Structure 1
Amino acid sequence: MVSRAERSLVGDWWWTIDKALVVAFGVLMTSGVVLLMAGGPPVAQRLGLDTFHFVNRQAIFLAPAVLLMLAVSFLTPRLVRRVALAVYVGSLGLVLAALEFGPEIKGAHRWIYLGPFGLQPSEFLKPAFVILAAWAFSEKARSDMPGTPIAILLLPVTIVPLILQPDFGQTMLVTVVWACLFFIAGLHWIWVIGLGGAGAVGIFAAYELLPHVRARIERFLSGDASESFQVETALQSFASGGWLGRGPGEGTVKRILPDAHTDFIFAVTAEEFGIAVCLAIVCVYAFIVLRGMLLAHRSQDAFCRMAVAGLVLMFGLQASINMMVNLHLVPAKGMTLPFISYGGSSLLSLALATGFLIALTRRRPAAGGARTEAYGGALVERPA
């Protein structure tokens, strides 16, 4: 236990973090390893790898991910902005490098290999972009800082390389989060209509000009099992598992599901552990989003308020898109389920984002030397 009187770095961190958020993230990380033991072995066996290849690699990546999350959570808001700027510049450079030097995988250039390690730089671009956009929007009131023009310029600079990869799932996620931050910043309803119209035009243009996007949308709308094998197979997992599941290791549909360890691990969870466990996972994601939005609402700092809102929106939207794909509610996007799907780049980037989130939701001294604390849902000012 750490005493409240202890003024060390660790002591201050322990008594200022939101422990409910940290516990929720811990639950998801632990669940990811457990659930990957169900979805990973069948894919590994089909590829001729060791049975627990993906489970072991996820566990290996989990240790540095936890350390990264904890280290970033010690940062002050000023250092969060600086780290985000460095990550953004580096990630954007690697995204551009992947376009030129990255291997083509499933028709896209999203990966770049640094020695024996593969990296998807767009994963790290997302949280850094949210921090920088929130900082720019929060500075719009300053006469010497063109915050809004910078925030507007950030969007095309970020999404154009993603479109060129192409990665329309990440592009859509980044754009929606940016639009939400624009709305939180107090844009006029005319802007809402204009942005909505621009988004509709962009989707129509992608459908007309890009065969990859058109094929994916048409497969989704056709409802033909032969045209959407993975999604239809995922739906069979939900039907096979029922409310309580077939039991750990008893699933059968996962043996023919190509991406059972990544995009469709939610469906594997439904078959082996039941819809009840899936609903519990949904509740954990919902708790993180709602708790984050509550903490953002309580924050007196404009930057922290917008950054926290943007981070939890990005986190919740990514989880929602993945689960909706598994339920055949939206076209397949190739987006992972946060902390549960297999993926080293995804795990490390999520650790970075959650570290930012924990750092920005820490209780800090308010103006006038008072410390703002939450008791019973109300804010109470105590002497510093």
Structure 2
Amino acid sequence: MIPFKLRSHLKGDRHIWAILLALSIISIFVVYSSISALAYRKTGGNTEFYLLKHGFFIIFGLFVTFVIHKLDFTQYSGIAHVFLWFTPILILYTLIFGISVGGARRWVSVLGFSFQTSDFVRLVLITNLSAMLARRQHIEYKVSDLWTMIIWCGVTIGLLSISSFSTSVILGITCFLIMWIGRVPSKYLWKMVLVLFGGLTLVLALGLIVKRATGTELGRVQTVIDRTEVFINSDMDGDGLVGGETGSSSDQKDFALIAIAHGGFLGVGPGNSAQKNVLPDAFSDFIFSIIIEEYGILGAMVVMGLYIWLLYRGVKNVDNTHRAFGGLLTIGLTLSIVLQAFAHMFINVGLGPVTGQTLPMISMGGTSALFTSVAIGIVLSVSKNTSPNE
């Protein structure tokens, strides 16, 4: 009987495998520490239940990454192209009939499987944009091709911004960077910026009009405006209130900053966080502040370093890949993960308005972690076909 050697089956960039394993281990420790309040509310204090649940999702995510990285990445462009035509319909369906969580319709259930539409849309759009650009790397761009890319990005990101504004901004920046790396002429890059900025502004304006005319909120538009008002301490919508009806204070932000101040340089130690019991979503949207409280600035630097290392490996693999599609896909997916991670960290330390961005591969979550695992698997699949690198 031939023994199974895992190392011989893990193909692709071993640095990325190491980063994935390190973030998974960190996730186990930090999530277990931060779920005590959730466990008390839901199960009477049974933290082991959530630890086992989270551990299952991590192991399943690693398995998904392993399976995806074994497949040929060139097949993904055809699959994603089919899905692209369904993304606007899926977003609209989610806005009307989706599952409401925390006052936002961002989830949809298909055959008993629930997932956030934004996770799926991000994967599909990045894959399609990479494929469109790859086909034009050795021939001159046609105006129609460029406008097709810009319109698809504008429509998809504009619709997505109604329920997931921060995610749409991150996705817009990612698409712009992919087009820049794909050597799109600068005048079309500026047109891309204008389309995205105009679309997002239009959504905000439409949200205000709907709220004033009917008293109902369009998606999460009013919430985005209110939280931005709190951050800049200014009345943006002219209603005479900073932060809307919720006021100009943010308990989440205050608790997060208290946790950071409490942590200092070395932290208070694993499991000793005080703010985890009062900070809403300490296990997901504000897990970085718990990391700082328990492991200090030193622990935060380690986590930041892992994401920077992931970005570096993504860029390095682009230099060594043999296919334009693989290179663009790698940098696009890597950027989407790293940009989300830094958006989460900036928000946790008070450098941005409060929003619901999780920390990829660390925050507790099911389908979000699954789609991130798929993205990492694709990146590893591409790296199998690169030149030897360190």
Alignment TM-score, normalising by the size of structure 2? 0.83
1:153 Cα deviation after fit: 3.5
- After superposition, the C-alpha distances for 1:308-346 in whole angstroms (9 at most, x for unaligned) are 111111111000100001011111221110011111011
Tell me which residue corresponds to 1:369.
none
The counterpart of 2:40, out of the listed 45, 68, 71, is 45
Bigger mean CA deviation after superposition, 130-139 or 198-207: 198-207
How far apart are the structure 1 equivalents of 2:107 and 2:187? 38
Tell me which residue corresponds to 2:123.
127
Does 2:293 match 1:297?
A: no
Write the letter of the residue equivalent to 1:82: G
**Residues 289, 312 of structure 1: 8 Å contact kept:** yes
- After superposition, the C-alpha distances for 1:134-174 in whole angstroms (9 at most, x for unaligned) are 0101112458997534422431342243134x110121111
Write the letter of the residue equivalent to 2:48: F
Bigger mean CA deviation after superposition, 171-180 or 191-200: 191-200
User: Equivalent residues in 2 for 1:134-213 (5 A)?
Assistant: 134-140=130-136, 141=138, 147-164=145-162, 166-210=163-207, 211-213=222-224
Partner of 1:119, secondary structure, is strand
How far apart are the structure 1 equivalents of 2:202 and 2:326? 36
How far apart are the structure 2 equivalents of 1:358 and 1:99? 33
The counterpart of 2:12, out of the listed 1, 11, 17, is 17
How far apart are the structure 1 equivalents of 2:72 and 2:90? 27
Tell me which residue corresponds to 1:373.
388
Partner of 2:283, secondary structure, is coil
For the aligned residues, what is the CA RMSD? 3.0
1:104–1:185 CA distance, 2 compared to 1 (3 A): same
The counterpart of 2:347, out of the listed 325, 339, 345, is 325
Partner of 1:214, secondary structure, is helix
1:91–1:346 CA distance, 2 compared to 1 (3 A): farther
1:144–1:236 CA distance, 2 compared to 1 (3 A): closer
Tell me which residue corresponds to 1:380.
none
**Residues 242, 275 of structure 1: 8 Å contact kept:** yes
1:252 Cα deviation after fit: 0.8
How far apart are the structure 2 equivalents of 1:85 and 1:294? 27
Alignment TM-score, normalising by the size of structure 1? 0.84
**Residues 150, 195 of structure 2: 8 Å contact kept:** no
1:125 Cα deviation after fit: 2.1
**Residues 36, 261 of structure 1: 8 Å contact kept:** yes
The counterpart of 1:31, out of the listed 23, 26, 38, is 26
Tell me which residue corresponds to 2:232.
221
Tell me which residue corresponds to 1:101.
97
Q: How many residues align?
A: 360
How far apart are the structure 2 equivalents of 1:228 and 1:114? 35
1:83–1:66 CA distance, 2 compared to 1 (3 A): farther
1:74 Cα deviation after fit: 1.2
The counterpart of 2:262, out of the listed 217, 236, 240, is 240
How far apart are the structure 2 equivalents of 1:103 and 1:78? 34
Write the letter of the residue equivalent to 2:272: E
Query: Unpaired runs of 5+ in structure 2?
Result: 208-221, 235-242
How far apart are the structure 2 equivalents of 1:133 and 1:248? 42
Tell me which residue corresponds to 2:271.
249
**Residues 39, 260 of structure 1: 8 Å contact kept:** yes
Tell me which residue corresponds to 1:382.
none
Bigger mean CA deviation after superposition, 303-312 or 56-65: 56-65
Tell me which residue corresponds to 1:351.
373
1:235 Cα deviation after fit: 0.8
How far apart are the structure 1 equivalents of 2:36 and 2:87? 32
